[in-house]
Amino acid sequence: MIDDPLLPPRKILDRLREIVAEPDKWCSTDVEYVDDAADLIEELLIHRNVLRREVCRQRASYIQGKTPFEIADALGWDCFKESRHA
């Protein structure tokens, strides 16, 4: 169980992957379920970042002198960083 319900999705994903890495501590159906959940979270993060990049590009087109990267920074988004699993 997660102690802090406000953990960022990436930290939740990393924790799920850690659990999968130690399958002897879990029954096989639990490990498969957790692995599927981690895959889904990873996919959702990829889609979220695609949409965030589009928002940043659109905002930058309306704000002179700002790049999409600067917009993302101002919003606290890391959507232009490379995904570890992509």
Residues 28-72 pLDDT 10s: 777 777 777 888 888 899 999 999 999 999 999 999 899 999 999
Instruction: Report which of residues 2 and 60 the model is more confident about.
Output: 60
For residues 7-27, one letter each, b for 16 or more C-beta atoms within 10 angstroms of the residue's C-beta and e for the rest, the string is eeeeebbeebbebbeeeeeee
Task: Reply yes or no on whether the pLDDT at 12 is more than 80.
Answer: no
Higher pLDDT, 5 or 11: 11
The band of 19, judged by pLDDT with boundaries at 50, 70 and 90, is confident
Choose between 86 and 17: higher pLDDT: 17
